[in-house]
Structure 1
């Protein structure tokens, strides 16, 4: 049964449980809700909650565990002779899943009957053509081991889905009956429902923490696997980035220093653009602009933060790059050879970061107590002198925190770099040359049919772990500075 239909049935069962629980509670009180411990809606909600929460929880856990279990079972069925030279079990399992999906599509389209889809002795050439006719992408001729594994995969998936449907429906029905049976006038339904809602709120709050832990663990495990295959000393200290994938010859040189240099260089150029403009805009909006101008200018400035980064990348490629090339290229000063360069990506990224700096700095400057301004004016200082000698020094810790948050945002940017900076990993001080960053190389290393047993693919996780530690450090430092500032002036 499709998951959507199972979900609708569970919802229907829980609604029935709600009605029965409420009706039973009223019946136990002779129809007078004043004789009940809780309002009637709580008795219905108790039955609904005990039906829907365990059923959906079981469904989610089953759907998460099912692929792992089936993949493990099917992988054990594939003989070593069924794995082609230069391939691995991961690629074979991907082909098995595609073939299983193709069998399902062919049965649904009427191109293949169910018995033929289950028959392990089907003609592989004929079946390959049927799958192509069903619109399934097949990389080549399906082998007999892959076909048999796909048929077993389809059978196991069908059996597992059937068992899941039965188990979820039993749990939903049992929960509805249990909740409805508790519909007695002395039952503390409100307490039970509130405790259940509290548990759901705690679970929702834990999702972010568990997700962060999952991200970190996935990075750690794959990073450790990478350092088993590639020396850590070369990764951190080698001055060359030259991955050589299987079949292209040569050994890979996977030094992170050129990528870190490109990341920090482009981020530095972006901050050179964003910090002065953003800070000046914040000073104007907080100290000089009237209420009407502020109500118009600040929302317009913050619109920049809502523009997708891919749009900034296209802007860098189609607008900023050609303008810089016309001025600094062969037709101008002759310093720039192409549209993609550090300066191109840095300018686009700096424009993107302006609202981050201006909005945070504006809030921080406004948090400076008015009494400090009034004291400065009372001593005879002008408005500009008050801003320079009183307001900005008082707001400096918060402004530094805003700049650090913008820096962490710049370090993690990808699309602007991919489109505007190029893909060359080099150590150079020339801002008119193409360079690349850690994030861009993470994308390139994981694009295509990567063999996750090779260091050329696993290096993406080591790069990600390094980037995660850098941005985490900047964020912690920025939040510490901002919190210290707020404690001082609140």
Structure 2
């Protein structure tokens, strides 16, 4: 029998056992309560505890078995695994029914189960993060055994050359000439991200201030969803817009000013990327500005300050921690963008301070290194993990700096208001 049919049968039988547990548990609790015996919980709560006792262990056993089969390669027949889970469900049904008695706290038991489920969900996210980090670190260490870490973070030339020959045992044919200096990649990343922030932060913050403090409700109802539509547009569409529309405009404007600009330049993806992340800053900033108590606004106006002074000196300082968080979220989003950069800025690692020239970013090189016909053991492929590790460290440092800035402004604002 196919696995899909087995899973369908398992789900149906488990659902049937859950329904039986619910109705039997509620009926037994109702009978006990009808006899005048005081109970610690309602009949429905005993019924739901019986359902949890029936389905919870069965699902746990099935999930653990699937984990052992898929990730650890254990040879467990699917039929036996599902049959064993159903046996566990039947035992759980009996245990759940036996606990339907006056002195059992069914509500507290359900709350404990919910608490453990929430803890498990939190632990899964934490373990996933560490799993991602460890997988990057192990592969990055393999790359740093081939090339110097210092040359990687300080080198100004990124030229993998024929490094794939080294993985094939033919390094003498050209693999030794490879250069993996990451400075041009990170320089391009920071430049394009900086241009995007110069567009997104002023426009997003000012639009949030307008919608929160000045816009009528009718305008706000229409403008905010329209602005957030920008976040739902696929990045490849932004890439087409940057390459076909924005880049030629920049070339024409630069030519009119007597400057030489390439059609693959850093300004075009920076501008379009800034437009793309405006909703991140605008929506979050709007929420934190609206969260500022109206009593603070009213008190400022009562002291004779104008509306503009109130926004500048009271509302914005109070909402500044949230605005910083929104800006750092937008920075992380911009640093991880790939498609717009590929289509508008090119893929050539170019260390330059001129935004009118072509350049590329770290994420673009990661994609380029992990695609194609390259051997996984080659230095060029493993360099993607090294770039990912350094990028992870950079974003982590930015997050730590943002946390320190948020705490500083919160303490400063709290002291000024004492």
CA distance in 1, matches of 2:358, 2:103: 75
Q: What's 2:397 paired with?
A: 473
CA contact (8 A) 2:188 2:361 kept: yes
CA distance in 2, matches of 1:432, 1:336: 5
Report the aligned-residue RMSD: 3.4
CA distance in 1, matches of 2:204, 2:27: 66
Quote the offset at 1:234 in angstroms: 1.5
Is it true that 1:324 corresponds to 2:250 in the alignment?
A: yes
Q: What pairs up with 1:273-352 in 2 under 5 angstroms?
A: 273-328=199-254, 333=258, 335-338=260-263, 340-352=264-276
CA distance in 2, matches of 1:219, 1:325: 39
Indicate the structure (1 or 2) with the bigger Cα radius of gyration.
1
Quote the offset at 1:34 in angstroms: 3.1
* Aligned CA distance change for structure 1 residues 472 and 69 (closer, same or farther; 3 Å): closer
Unaligned 5+ runs, structure 1: 71-155
* Aligned CA distance change for structure 1 residues 241 and 437 (closer, same or farther; 3 Å): same
Unaligned 5+ runs, structure 2: 166-172
CA contact (8 A) 1:313 1:416 kept: yes
Structure 1-normalised TM-score? 0.70
CA contact (8 A) 1:273 1:350 kept: yes
* Aligned CA distance change for structure 1 residues 346 and 34 (closer, same or farther; 3 Å): same
Is it true that 1:45 corresponds to 2:48 in the alignment?
A: yes
CA contact (8 A) 2:200 2:275 kept: yes
Quote the offset at 1:262 in angstroms: 0.4
CA distance in 2, matches of 1:401, 1:28: 53
Quote the offset at 1:350 in angstroms: 1.0
SS in 1 for 2:357: coil
Q: What's 1:373 paired with?
A: 300
Q: What's 1:100 paired with?
A: none
CA contact (8 A) 1:20 1:44 kept: no
Q: 2:69 aligns with which of 66, 71, 76?
A: 66
Q: What's 2:122 paired with?
A: 205
Quote the offset at 1:20 in angstroms: 4.2
Is it true that 1:436 corresponds to 2:357 in the alignment?
A: no
SS in 2 for 1:311: helix
CA offset digits 1:297-356 (Å, max 9, x no partner):
233223223333232222212322233344446x99561232x22011101111112223
Q: What pairs up with 1:45-194 in 2 under 5 angstroms?
A: 45-70=48-73, 160-183=77-100, 187-194=104-111
Q: What's 1:246 paired with?
A: 164
Quote the offset at 1:198 in angstroms: 2.5
CA offset digits 1:141-185 (Å, max 9, x no partner):
xxxxxxxxxxxxxxx96x643443343333333333443454556
SS in 1 for 2:277: helix
CA contact (8 A) 2:140 2:389 kept: yes
CA contact (8 A) 2:374 2:381 kept: yes
Is it true that 1:14 corresponds to 2:14 in the alignment?
A: yes
Is it true that 1:354 corresponds to 2:354 in the alignment?
A: no
CA distance in 2, matches of 1:19, 1:382: 64
